[in-house]
Each structure stands twice: as structure tokens, then as C-alpha cells.
């Protein structure tokens, strides 16, 4: 399935050389549109120059309907738009997209579907979710959530987990360049396929959902890695995407754990160095790596929490 | 003003002894309602027990109008409700609150004001903001933002900054108990006054805004500390609250920096150990502490990023 994805993949900004070659879509920290130079003073009073990530308003329309205005770093607006609509259950798996128009100057993206849509009423009922969240989850998302059944035979080898986190943490990224950004990575086995970053973690998730839809990727054999916390909203999105395994370097919320158990999702958090904690779907984990000691993470690539919220 | 606040302060869960005594409102990690035990397996396959933070739905009504459903850890629902309405500009500084009713079982909080309110139209126009954001910001918030002028004479001594971060990082907190939670602290001089935590950082900010309103606290001499990123939304909220100095251990977004400069807000990020970076309103900073070396943060209290998103 990854093969299919490869052949159809949109060219992401793949950093040249080494680990980055494994990615179908990788961050493009060199893109001047994604970060900006800022001048300030440090703790000694010395003048310093640094780079910070961009944050732009993007208004999403589904056909004639204005849906939401998102704050985003601005890359992959087409995938963000499609992924948002999918994760909000406003776009169905069998929907045919006639076109996606993006106007960078206006900060507008329009998704046109063959099926007529009308979410006037749906737009009225919103739930504000936790942390770096969607901001809104529509009522019927939960109804859909309860109907999803995740593949039992999917597995996660601990050797894959250690290889993935190392490749992800060492890949060139906006996080390493400018910090204050979240990352989500769609993985298969020990290979990271699609690495998306955004100022809103929910956007990074949605961009991956959009990429999967546009590339017909099979969720059943995928592993989803995120830098963010495992809240109810993160668990709901992963299940909505049909991915059986969710891994984060961050912690859990009680409802996130409860929903993961309910959906049969393998939920792994606090994954740092060789350490991790699995609190749901542990049976999918295959302990094939030596975890008797924790080598930790080298300082350069450790996320210092600049991705907070 | 802090004096006023003290006399009127609602009893927060102040942990006994030491630093915690400085707080008027401090986290209450001992409250069983705020975290739950979870069982799982670690990287060696060994069974482990841990605690994770709660995440509950709370639906907010302003008089007869349903406003939003928030995911929150569940403490201080009254302050969260008032603060949310203030930061959304739906409640005015001169509004008189007739009552706040909270039903824990129903997960509903109702704020009743003397002034009749009707935000039917307002509710239709929402903006989803970055990171651990409000989720929604109403159009006229920006209009209000442009009218705020922050006190020029406010100052931040680096000795205060170092004292504050140390007191905050060592105070008993849900972060230290269960992780995966954000913290915001209202400070004055070198004293942390109100320390709120929540699964959504926006909720922690709103609870502090609500506390300030209910206790008539003066924002002019305050310093706002957050664990989260300095996005546009975080800068907007701080300016809306009238606080001239915003400090975070996390990084910046370009628009956040731009808005801080526009509003004359002192914006300090990447504050870890003795290090920090000031990118706006640097003139309010008084370098009175020895910053020639960085002692870093002791491992136990370092935020490992479990507060991500």
C-alpha cells in the first residue's frame, strides 16, 4: 500500500540525503515562506537573530459553504482542507473531489465535491476540544467513531518504534530550525512515510489525513506518530482515520485512554529514548528489541518542549 | 492590588508548605477528581501503574445562550466560564454577574449577567486558532485588541524572572504528578499569585482571566507566565487582559511576535534555566541578575514536553 502511495505521492519538500530519503513527504525547513527572521535580545542583553515559524489564516470553503478559518503554517493547504473535512466527517470516503482551489493572497481554499453538501445545521453544533485540538468536533463524529473497527492483526515491533523515533527526530525539520511547531508522522513498519508539521498539531494530523485520502493509502498497516498529547481528540482522529496504532512522546488524558480501549486502538505515550508506556491495545506490541537500558535522546534532537501546545 | 486579590481570593487548592504558600491559587494535585489511575506496560513489558489527567466536557451558557462546549480538567468551572466570555469579548469589564450555576453531573455552567446579551449572530463567525488555542476567536476581538494600550512603566527584573520560574517549576502541580497538562501563572514582581493548569492551555489562561475579574486584580503590574507557545492567540489574550509582560518557556510564531510589537507587549520566550529570548518590548526588562552562566534546570522539574500541545 505504501507502494501505491509512493507512485501517487505529491512531491513534498524532501530534504536531501540520508534519512530524509525514506520520506515520501518531509518537512521543508529551507522554504523561506514557512519561517521568518526575528531579532531580539538574549538573557545577557546581547542582540540575537533567530527564526520563528509562520502562522497564517486560511479560510476553508466546502463548495459554497464557509466552514472554518484555521491558523496554519501554510504548506499543503489542499491536504489540510481535505483532511479537515474528512476528520470532521463532512467529507465521506466515497466522495469525489472535483477540484481544490487555493488563493494564497486571499488565504482561501475551496474544496469542490461532486456530491452536493449542506452543513448549515451541522456548523451550529461545535465542541471545543483539548490542547492543541481541532477546536471543534461535530456531534456525529462520535457516532461514526463507535462504528469503526480497527484491524486486530496489525502489529508494532519495538525495533520499529526505536528506528522510527530516531529517524523522525534526526530528519531536517522546522522544529529543529525554528521550534514552536508540532509534528505528526504517518509510518509503516520502521519507515516514516509522511512527516507533516504545523503550528496547530490538529493541522498536522489533518494534512496527513488529506494525504492518505488523495493517495489512497491503506490505514490498516500504518502507525501514527505525534509529538502532541494523547487527548480524546487525538484518539478520535486516529480512529476516524482507521489507523490501529498511535504513538506519542507526550502523555495521556484519562478520556483519551478510555476511548482508545473502547476502540481497540494501541495507545503508546511518553515514548522517549527507549522508554514508552502502552495503556491500550498492548497485544499488538512485539518486544523484539533490547530495551534493558535507556540510552536516552541526544541533546541536539531532544524536543525541549518548544512544541508545547 | 495583589493585596485586594488576597483578601477576596477564592480558596484554591494550595499545597501545604514552602513555595506553595506564596500562591493565592495553586494546583491541587492531590484532588482525586483531577487525575485517574491507569494501568499499562512499559518498554520492558513490565506492568506499571500511573496517573493521567482528567478531561471532561463542560458546556457554557451565557444567560439563555449556549456558547461552547469545552474539554477541561474540571477545576474552577466558574472562573473558566467567566474568563472564556471575557477573552471572547462577550462579557464586558463593566458587566455585573448575577450568578454562576454549575452542575457537575450535567457538565453545564451558566453565567447570568444583569445586562441582556444576545450573541446569536456573533456565534456564527468563528476563527480556529493555533496550537493549544481558544479554538474560536470572534471577529471583534481584533477590533478591541487594537484599542488596548499597555502601561509603559511596567518592568520585569531578570532576578524576578529567575525566581518566578524556579518557584513555578518546583511547586506541587498536576504536571509533576500526571504530566500532559499546561500551566499558566499570574505573577507580580517575583511572586507567583495564581497558578492554573488545564488540559487545554486556553482554559488555563481563561481561568486566570476569570480569577482577575472576580477578584478585581490590576493587570498593569502583572507578569503572565505560560508553558505554551507564544502564538497570535496567546498574545491577543494577554493584551486583552491588559497584562504588559508575557513569558513562556516555549517558542514563538511570527504573527505572535508581530502582534506583540504592535501592542507594545513585552514578549519573552524560550525561558529555560537562566536563558531567555525577548523579541518585543525589551525596554521593560531590567538586567539585575547574574546571567553569565546557565545553571539549567534540574532534571526532576524540567518540563519534558509532556505538556506538548
The partner residues of A68 in beta bridges, in order of sequence, read: A60
The pLDDT score that the predictor gives to residue B87 is 87
pTM for the complete prediction? 0.86
Nine-digit cell string for B85: 466570555
With respect to residue B25, please indicate whether it lies within any of the assigned structural domains: no
The CA–CA distances, whole Å, from A246 to A138, A165, A206, B117 equal 22, 13, 15, 43
User: Based on the domain organization, do A241 and A282 belong to the same domain?
Assistant: yes
Cell 503590574 belongs to B221
Partner residue opposite A52 with nearest CB, options B249, B252, B306: B252
Q: What pLDDT score does B290 carry?
A: 85
Closest CA to B236 of A126, A57, A204: A57
Q: A40 and B231 in contact by Cβ < 8 A?
A: no
Do A75 and A133 share a domain, yes or no?
yes
Domain boundary among B119, B145, B171: B145
The answer to whether the CB of A247 falls within 8 A of the CB of A264 is: no
Residues B276, B179 share a domain: yes
Q: How far is B4 from chain A (nearest CA, A)?
A: 32
Percentage helix, strand, coil for chain A under 3-state DSSP, each rounded to 5: 30, 30, 40
Decide if B71 and A280 are in contact by the 8 Å CB cutoff: no
Kindly report the nearest CA distance between residue B11 and chain A, in angstroms.
26
Q: Distance (Å, rounded) from C-alpha B2 to C-alpha B21?
A: 15
Count: domains in chain A: 2
Q: What is the DSSP letter of A193?
A: E
Residues A133 and A173 in one domain: no
* B191 in a structural domain: yes
Give yes or no for a contact between B15 and B28, defined as CB atoms under 8 angstroms apart.
yes
Q: Do B263 and B162 belong together in one domain?
A: yes
Q: What is the pLDDT of residues B1-41, one digit of tens each?
A: 333 333 233 334 444 445 557 899 999 999 999 999 999 99
Q: State whether A223 and A243 are in the same domain.
A: yes
Interface test with B, best of A139, A257, A308 (most B CBs within 10 A): A308
Q: Are residues B111 and B135 part of one domain?
A: yes
**What is the C-alpha separation between A192 and A62, in angstroms, rounded?**
31
| pLDDT the model gives residue A173 | 96
Report how far Cα A164 is from the mean position of its chain's Cα atoms: 15
DSSP three-state, residue A194: strand
CATH number at residue B266: 3.40.140.10
Domain boundary among the residues B113, B145, B177 is at B145
What's the domain range around B122? 56-145
Is residue A29 one of the residues assigned to a domain?
no
Assess if residue A26 is contained within a domain.
no
Q: Residue A282 and residue B41: Cβ atoms within 8 Å?
A: yes
Co-location of A177 and A291 in the same domain = yes
Instruction: Identify the domain boundary among B91, B111, B145.
Output: B145
Distance in angstroms (rounded) separating the CA atoms of residues B157 and B245? 11
- pLDDT at residue B201, as a whole number: 82
Residues A202 and A244 in one domain: yes
What pLDDT does residue A1 have? 32
Same domain flag for A132 and A199: no
In three-state secondary structure terms, A246 is strand
Q: Does residue A93 lie within any of the structural domains?
A: yes
d(CA A300, CA A304) in angstroms, rounded, equals 9
**Preferred mutation among B226, B254, B259 to probe A, highest tally of A CBs within 10 A:** B254
Decide: helix, strand or coil at residue A166. helix
Express each pLDDT in B133-149 by its tens digit.
Answer: 334 455 577 888 889 99
For residues A242 and A154, the answer to whether their CB atoms sit within 8 Å is no
Same structural domain for residues B237 and B211? yes
Predicted pLDDT at A9: 33
CA distance A8 to chain B (A): 30
Residues A78 and A215 in one domain: no
Which triple of cell numbers denotes residue A196?
507533516
Positions of chain A with pLDDT under 50 = 1-17, 127-136, 304-309
* Per-residue cell: A212: 492518505
* ipTM for this prediction: 0.84
Q: Is residue B270 part of a domain?
A: yes
How many helices (H) and strands (E) chain A has is answered by: 8, 14
Minimal CA–CA distance to B133: which of A54, A199, A142, A87?
A: A199
> Within chain A, where are the H helices?
2-8, 77-87, 139-147, 158-170, 174-178, 201-214, 232-240, 254-263
Q: Is residue B101 part of a domain?
A: yes
Cα separations in angstroms, B230 against A54, A186, A295, B145, B280: 12, 27, 32, 16, 12
Q: Say if B67 falls within a structural domain.
A: yes
Low-confidence stretches of chain B (pLDDT beneath 50): 1-17, 125-136, 304-309
- The kind and range of the H/E element at A251 are none
Find the angle CA(A55)-CA(A56)-CA(A58) to the nearest 5 degrees: 140
Of B202, B240, B226, the C-alpha closest to B86 is: B240
Alpha-carbon distance of A307 to B3, in angstroms, equals: 36
Amino acid at each position: 500500500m505504501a507502494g501505491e502511495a509512493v507512485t501517487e505521492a505529491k512531491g513534498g519538500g524532501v530534504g536531501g540525503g540520508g534519512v530524509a530519503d525514506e520520506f515520501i513527504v518531509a518537512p521543508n525547513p529551507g522554504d523561506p515562506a514557512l519561517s521568518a527572521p526575528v531579532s531580539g535580545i538574549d538573557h545577557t542583553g546581547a542582540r540575537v537573530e533567530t527564526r520563528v515559524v509562520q502562522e497564517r489564516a486560511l479560510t476553508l470553503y466546502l463548495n459554497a459553504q464557509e466552514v472554518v478559518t484555521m491558523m496554519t503554517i501554510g504548506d499543503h493547504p489542499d491536504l489540510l482542507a481535505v483532511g479537515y473535512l474528512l476528520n470532521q466527517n463532512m467529507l465521506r470516503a466515497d466522495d469525489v473531489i472535483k477540484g481544490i482551489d487555493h488563493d494564497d493572497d486571499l488565504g482561501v481554499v475551496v474544496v469542490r465535491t461532486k456530491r452536493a453538501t449542506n452543513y448549515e445545521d451541522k456548523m451550529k453544533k461545535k465542541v471545543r476540544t483539548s490542547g492543541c485540538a481541532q477546536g471543534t468536533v461535530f456531534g456525529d463524529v462520535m457516532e461514526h467513531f463507535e462504528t469503526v473497527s480497527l484491524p486486530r492483526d496489525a502489529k508494532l515491533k519495538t525495533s520499529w518504534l526505536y528506528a522510527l523515533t530516531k529517524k523522525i527526530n534526526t530528519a531536517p525539520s522546522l522544529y529543529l530550525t525554528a521550534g514552536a511547531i508540532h509534528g505528526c508522522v504517518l509510518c509503516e513498519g520502521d519507515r516514516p512515510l509522511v512527516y507533516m508539521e504545523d503550528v496547530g498539531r490538529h493541522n498536522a494530523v489533518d494534512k496527513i489525513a488529506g494525504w492518505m485520502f488523495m493517495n489512497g493509502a491503506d490505514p490498516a498497516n500504518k502507525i501514527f506518530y505525534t509529538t502532541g498529547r494523547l487527548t480524546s481528540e487525538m484518539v478520535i482522529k486516529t480512529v476516524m482515520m482507521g489507523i490501529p496504532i498511535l504513538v506519542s512522546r507526550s502523555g495521556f488524558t484519562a478520556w483519551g485512554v478510555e476511548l482508545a480501549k473502547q476502540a481497540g486502538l494501541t495507545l503508546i505515550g511518553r515514548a522517549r529514548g527507549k522508554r514508552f508506556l502502552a495503556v491500550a491495545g498492548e497485544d499488538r506490541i512485539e518486544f523484539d528489541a533490547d530495551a534493558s537500558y535507556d540510552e536516552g535522546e541526544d541533546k541536539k534532537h531532544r524536543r525541549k518542549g518548544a512544541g508545547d501546545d
